[in-house]
Structure 1
């Protein structure tokens, strides 16, 4: 084999090997940062991984919220068919409440309790921040007074 052809072959093999290593690193990083989403029924049926992070979503079960010492909170997330106990240490979002939608990110322990690292409260399309609702009430009250006073 001529030296020029051998050098080209080596260069092509190095490029292919480098691209292969880069793709393998990207896939590895993507796999580590990907969080799967499971509803409570799939968690209870054993489809969710134990000890690995994932997201779970549903509704906060009525009558299930218990506040412990400090910022410790225990509650149940349900999808209507099954419910999973959740333990969270931190400040809850303002929209959090019983009967409200919630997405929690964390890990499932061997005893079936989900330890949340983050709690996200969901709201519907009719949600209005309290400040805006108060301002609208004040505006309507002022409008009613001005209309009645004329």
Structure 2
């Protein structure tokens, strides 16, 4: 009788381990495209990522670099005070997007240009993503907003 209970217990534990392993693999597979690493312009210039890698870039839109074309393509540069990376984006920019303001973009770095598929801008006068603030502080450029 005891060996039957022991066998059942081992079977239940084995099924639970297999189910847990399978669910972990499926979650990791589902999230593989959703995990985007953040990089500052200085990091991108120092160590350019592979052209196939999707990541996020953040910093300030460099003053005087915003060029709107005849189509929906917009060109500008993002800086963290230490380096500047040219960006192209085809689409509609957020309403609060402007020069000298914080932004985060998602895309790929191809032939020295960050080709953005998504651009996020600050949502009010004082907000800036924490990754951007950290990168600007590391370069000694960040200034606390007036409260």
TM bucket, shorter chain? 0.7 to 0.9
1:55 paired residue number:
56
1:136 paired residue number:
none
Greater helix fraction, Structure 1 or Structure 2? 1
RMSD: 2.2
1:106 paired residue number:
107
Q: Report 1 or 2 for greater relative contact order, CA contacts < 8 Å, sequence distance ≥ 6.
A: 2
Q: How many angstroms does 1:60 deviate by? A: 1.0
Q: Distance in 2 between matches of 1:6 and 1:56?
A: 54
In terms of Rg, which structure is larger? 1
Q: TM-score, normalised by structure 2?
A: 0.73
Q: How many angstroms does 1:56 deviate by? A: 0.9
Partner secondary structure for residue 9 of structure 2:
helix
Q: Distance in 1 between matches of 2:125 and 2:57?
A: 18
Partner secondary structure for residue 98 of structure 1:
coil
Deviations 1:29-78 (A, max 9, x none): 34431221111001111164532221111111122112223111111101
Q: Aligned pair count?
A: 125
2:36 paired residue number:
35
Q: Is the 8 A contact 2:48 2:109 kept in 1?
A: no
- Which runs of 5 or more residues in structure 1 are unaligned? 127-150
1:119 paired residue number:
119
Q: Is the 8 A contact 2:106 2:116 kept in 1?
A: yes
Q: Distance in 2 between matches of 1:12 and 1:89?
A: 53
Q: TM-score, normalised by structure 1?
A: 0.72
Partner secondary structure for residue 56 of structure 2:
strand
Q: Distance in 2 between matches of 1:99 and 1:2?
A: 73
